[in-house]
Amino acid sequence: MSGSPVWHPFTQHGLGEPIPTVVRAEGAALHTADGRRVIDAISSWWVTTHGHNHPRIVAAIRDQAERLDQIIFAGWTHEPAETVARDLVALLPPALTRVFFSDSGSTSVEVALKMALGYWLNRDEPRHRILVLEHSYHGDTIGAMSVGARGVFNQAYAPLLFDVGTIPFPAQGREQATLDALERACAAGDVAAFIVEPLVLGAGGMLIYPPQVLGQMRAICMRAGVLFIADEVMTGWGRTGTLLACEQAGVVPDILCLSKGLTGGAVPLAVTMATEPIFQAHYGQDRARMFFHSSSYTANPIACAAAAANLAIWRDEPVLDRIAALARRQAERLARVADRPGFAGARSLGTIAAIDVEGPPGYLSTLGPRLLEYFRARDLLVRPLGNTVYVMPPYCIDDADLDAVHDAIAAAPAALL
């Protein structure tokens, strides 16, 4: 063995790509061990909403670590968890009355799927089928992969994945086909839930669809009595311009998954929020009906303290104004390159901007590593999805840094094609 023993995620070590060491971060800037300042244009995998090392989140973590680091959460509780749960219930649509903690976006999805199936079983109407949207991504654990798109990244694990019903993505001009397919699939029976990424399918390629379609999909599920799970792991916390993407369609899901920006991106934490009927289906004197899920670090106090600080920032600071300004500048920068040769499919929503660089599509596009290297050489953390380049920066990024990212994108085709 040579070099580091660390095995990195979604990394082909055999390609020998450099793996920089980051020693410090602040706002939208990362500082590497070899003295470079790198602009974090993707919020370190879409988590860092307010910027790295926000002083209020840092203080909350430090303070909590000195008082209570960890406590079993089955049968015990603590103030940070209670505060976060109360604040979430107060902030989000009133129908979402219950908060279940876990540790990552993937586990929040696992919990959502288990809640949905448990709901139907405990009502003595067992249902098994889950409907999903084409091109979706919900995480890399087994259940989350099962409800996500199939491809090279999960083909080896196919024997572990369960069957789902896939509804075509509502591409422009094809929205009615999506709605019809959903209506038919719901009517076929045995459908426990439909899980969707609201408005933007992230890892599937930053694919955006209109709020009206989200609203209509919700209405179809409501009419059919199918639970509606909104996975806002990426879209939540202002990414699409509103606190939740669902807001833009006036949609309230039965189950909501949140993670990433829940702690401002500082430490791992997730919640799955549910309506009262879903909680009540698990409630009673019968221990066999309880919700059978836990992990050692459920509602870790330090993570909850960070989440409480994030919620306080949302309460006290003009976060949505920052997002609106960022969204305007990004949309304007994107519009400048949209029609240039070498580019196609410019799209943006809120703080998310994406464009396809002409070249082989798909996750394993040969253009991907070349684009990655192109941005790395310019001290930019941009991690394309195949030939799709996207920007999803922390909300505190300043104009100069944002322009540097978009200048590099604008020059990419000429440099690479």
CA torsion 73-74-75-78 (nearest 10°) is: 10
C-beta nearest to ligand PLP: residue: 105
**At closest approach, how far in Å is the CB of 106 from ligand PLP?**
3
CA distance 218 to 324: 26
| Contact between residue 135 and residue 201 where contact means Cβ atoms under 8 Å apart | yes
Q: What binding mask, one character per residue, do residues 6-35 give for ligand PLP by CB under 6 A, x or -?
A: ------------------------------
Q: Do 191 and 117 touch, CB atoms closer than 8 A?
A: no
Would you give the binding string for ligand PLP spanning residues 89-128, x where CB under 6 A is met? Answer: ---------------xxx--x-------------------
Q: Does 197 bind ligand PLP (CB under 6 A)?
A: yes
Binding-site residues sit at 45, 105-106, 137, 231, 260, 294-296, 383
Task: Decide whether 149 or 233 has the Cβ nearer to ligand PLP.
Answer: 233
Q: Report DSSP letters for 303-348, one per residue.
A: HHHHHHHHHHHHHHS-HHHHHHHHHHHHHHHHHHHHTSTTEEEEEE
Q: Compare residues 140 and 403 and give the one whose CB is closer to ligand PLP.
A: 140
Of the candidate spans 113-121, 134-142, 211-219, 368-376, the one that interacts with ligand PLP by CB under 6 A turns out to be: 134-142
CA distance 352 to 359: 22
**Two structure tokens written together for 30:** 């990362």
Q: Could you give the CA distance from residue 107 to residue 103 in angstroms, rounded to a whole number? A: 6
H or E segment to which residue 275 belongs: strand 270-275
Among 51, 80, 118, 139, binds ligand PLP (CB under 6 A): 139
- Amino acid identity of residue 253, one-letter, is P
Q: Which stretch, 160-168, 197-205, 216-224, 313-321, contacts ligand PLP (CB under 6 A)?
A: 197-205
Cα–Cα nearest to 311, from 56, 70, 119: 56
Are 393 and 47 in contact by the 8 Å Cβ rule? The answer is no
- State which residue, 39 or 229, has the beta carbon closest to ligand PLP: 229
Strands (DSSP E) found in 110-162: 129-133
Q: Least separation, in Å, of the C-beta of 102 and ligand PLP?
A: 10
Q: Are 253 and 245 in contact (CB under 8 A)?
A: no
What is the amino acid identity at position 227?
L
Nearer to ligand PLP, 54 or 138 (CB): 138
**Pairing outcome for strands 165-167 and 129-133:** parallel
Please report, for residues 41, 257, 271, 373, 377, the alpha-carbon distance to residue 96 in angstroms, rounded to integers and kept in the order given.
Answer: 32, 11, 12, 44, 45
# of chain residues touching ligand PLP (CB under 6 A): 14
Our CB check for ligand PLP shows the closer of 115 and 281 to be 115
Nearer CB in complex with ligand PLP: 32/44: 44
Range in contact with ligand PLP (rule: CB under 6 A) among 156-164, 228-236, 271-279, 305-313: 228-236
* Contact range with ligand PLP by CB under 6 A, out of 136-144, 247-255, 275-283, 355-363: 136-144
Per CB under 6 A, the segment of 195-203, 206-214, 237-245, 296-304 that binds ligand PLP is 195-203
- Binding-site members for pyridoxal 5'-phosphate are 105-106, 231, 295-296
205-228: b (≥16 Cβ within 10 Å) or e: bbbbbebebbebbbebbeebebbb
Which of 106/275 has CB closer to ligand PLP? 106
| C-alpha 247 chain-centroid distance | 16
d(CA 397, CA 368) in angstroms, rounded, equals: 25
Residues 247-286: x/- map of binding to ligand PLP (CB under 6 A)?
Answer: ------------x---------------------------
CB of 230 to ligand PLP, least distance (A): 10
From residue 55 to residue 94, the character string flagging contacts with ligand PLP as x (rule: CB under 6 A) and all else as - is: ----------------------------------------
Q: Shortest distance, CB of residue 138 to ligand PLP, whole angstroms?
A: 5
* Residues 417, 413: Cα–Cα separation, whole Å: 5
Q: Which residues bind ligand PLP (CB under 6 A)?
A: 104-106, 109, 137-139, 197, 202-203, 231, 233-234, 259
